[in-house]
Amino acid sequence: MTLLPAPSTKRLGLVIDLDICVGCHACAVNCKEWNTGGYGAPLGDVDAYGVKPEGAWLNRIHTFEVSPKDSPAQIVHFPKSCLHCQDAPCVTVCPTGASYKRSEDGIVLVDEDRCIGCGLCSWACPYGAREMDPVEKVMKKCTLCIDRIYNDNLAEIDRVPACVRTCPAHARHYGDLGDPNSDVSKMVAERGGFDLMPEAGTRPVNKYLPPRAKTSPNTPPKQSEQTESLEATGFLGWLDKALEKLG
């Protein structure tokens, strides 16, 4: 089994704004393109244009159609990838040490040369954020585009994860969530950003910003509605509360 390193001061991760995500899948597509030609082995596809396509995607967007009590039916988009948890169960369950967490920045990675494809890390992840590559037969997951963020050959504007760089709505943000003065940390504090499924005890680095409560065009939102944080009791429990806020 693999041990977790001592907690790092630097915690790189993502902040995703559910209020403005439009569900366009640009983040997922650019993630697939970049990681197929970048770090590690390509992301495999089987029968991509056939009846039963199968492939590895490191970032997915779940879309829900909901009908709040006091407002019309609407669509909620929920992007999800590896959350680079501080107490990552996918790391401690790995029998070969292929899954590991970097001590210098908190990023969780997979050493594909050591992965035996047993799938234990996928079972241990409460978020379903790992996928077995159907071609390479090794586990794949979000790398936070480590080959971009530390690449001095790229322009500074491009030294962010591919999903962040490509998001047309600017719903995705990248930075050091271990630094209370970083832009992402301030965003989380101001908007009541929260963990996904905190009861799992994984302490995810990535945070989500809740949808803002709806108001009439001439009524400014209350301060409490701007900053109130949602307490999750599982993903579906969190979603129910988020939808109540939308209404």
Whether residue 7 is contained in a domain is answered as no
Q: What is the reported pTM?
A: 0.82
Q: Give the pLDDT confidence score for residue 65 in this predicted structure.
A: 79
Question: Using CA atoms in the order 184, 27, 89, 45, what is the torsion angle rounded to 10 degrees?
Answer: -170
Task: Report how many domains make up the chain.
Answer: 1
Q: Give the pLDDT confidence score for residue 2 in this predicted structure.
A: 74
For the chain, report the end-to-end CA distance as a whole number of angstroms: 46
Q: Give the pLDDT confidence score for residue 246 in this predicted structure.
A: 54
Distance from C-alpha of 169 to C-alpha of 126, rounded to nearest angstrom: 28
C-alpha pair distances (Å), 52 with each of 46, 47, 48, 49: 8, 7, 8, 8
Please give the residue range of the domain that contains residue 58.
12-246
Q: Give the pLDDT confidence score for residue 229 in this predicted structure.
A: 43
19-34 residue pLDDT tens? 899 999 999 999 999 9
Q: What is the CATH number of the domain that holds 112?
A: 3.30.70.20
Whether residue 21 is contained in a domain is answered as yes
Go through 111-136 and write b for each residue having 16 or more CB atoms within 10 A of its CB, e for each that does not: ebeebeeeebbbebbbbebbbbbeeb
52-93 residue pLDDT tens? 989 889 999 999 877 767 767 778 899 999 999 999 999 999
Distance from C-alpha of 96 to C-alpha of 98, rounded to nearest angstrom: 5
Whether residue 147 is contained in a domain is answered as yes
Nearest CA-CA partner of 85 in 171, 28, 14, 138: 14
Whether residue 120 is contained in a domain is answered as yes
Q: Give the pLDDT confidence score for residue 37 in this predicted structure.
A: 77
- Three-state secondary structure readout of 142-188: CCCCHHHHCCCCCCHHHCCCHHHHHCCCCCEEEEECCCCCCHHHHHH
Q: Give the pLDDT confidence score for residue 48 in this predicted structure.
A: 86
Q: Give the pLDDT confidence score for residue 22 in this predicted structure.
A: 94
Return the bridge partners of 17, or none.
209
Whether residue 2 is contained in a domain is answered as no
Say which DSSP state 52 is in: S
Residue-by-residue pLDDT tens, the chain, 247 positions:
678 999 889 999 999 999 899 999 999 999 999 988 765 567 888 998 899 989 889 999 999 877 767 767 778 899 999 999 999 999 999 999 999 999 999 999 999 999 999 999 999 999 999 999 999 899 999 999 999 999 999 999 999 999 999 999 999 999 999 999 999 999 999 999 999 999 999 999 999 998 765 554 555 555 554 444 444 455 556 666 665 655 5
Whether residue 79 is contained in a domain is answered as yes
Nearest CA-CA partner of 191 in 242, 236, 142: 242
Q: Answer whether 12's CB lies under 8 Å from 176's CB.
A: yes
Whether residue 1 is contained in a domain is answered as no
Whether residue 108 is contained in a domain is answered as yes
Nearest CA-CA partner of 37 in 152, 145, 137: 145
Q: Answer whether 58's CB lies under 8 Å from 43's CB.
A: yes
In this structure, what token pair is assigned to residue 47? 């029968």
Distance from C-alpha of 146 to C-alpha of 156, rounded to nearest angstrom: 14
Q: Answer whether 71's CB lies under 8 Å from 246's CB.
A: yes
